[in-house]
Amino acid sequence: MTTKMMTALAVLALAGCATVPIPAYQLERAEASIRGAEEVGALGVPAARLHLQLAKDETDTAKKMASRGDDRAVLVMARAESDAELALGLAREAAVHGDAVKASEDLKTIRARGNP
C-alpha cells in the first residue's frame, strides 16, 4: 500500500469513530435531577416514576448516540433533562400535597379536641 492510501484509510477510520460532545453541564443537570427525583420519592409517584424512567432511558440513548457521532444526541439529552426535571417536580408536588393533607388532618384533630 502506498502512503497516500494508508493515510486515506486512517482518516476514514477516524471519521467513523467521531463522537458528538454532549455539553457537560447538560449531562450533569440531567443526572442531578434524576438523583434528586429518586431522593424525593419519585418511584412512589406513578407519573413521576414514568418520567424518571424516560429520563434514564434518554440519558443512556443520548450517550450511545453521541458515541456514534449522531448530532441528535444533544437534543435527546435535552429531553432527558426535561423529563428528569418533570419527575422531580411531580415528586415534590406529591410530597407537598401529602404534607398538606397531614396538616389538615392534624388541624381537624386539634379542633375536635377543643370542642367536646
Amino acid at 98: G
**Does 31 score more than 60 pLDDT?**
yes
**Which CATH class for the 3-114 domain?**
mainly alpha
**Residues 63, 13 contacting (CB under 8 angstroms):** no
**Does 74 score more than 90 pLDDT?**
yes
Distance between CA 19 and CA 51 in Å, rounded?
A: 27
Distance between CA 49 and CA 88 in Å, rounded?
A: 9
pTM over 0.85: no
Length reported for the chain? 116
**Does 47 score more than 70 pLDDT?**
yes
Residue 17 carries which DSSP code? T
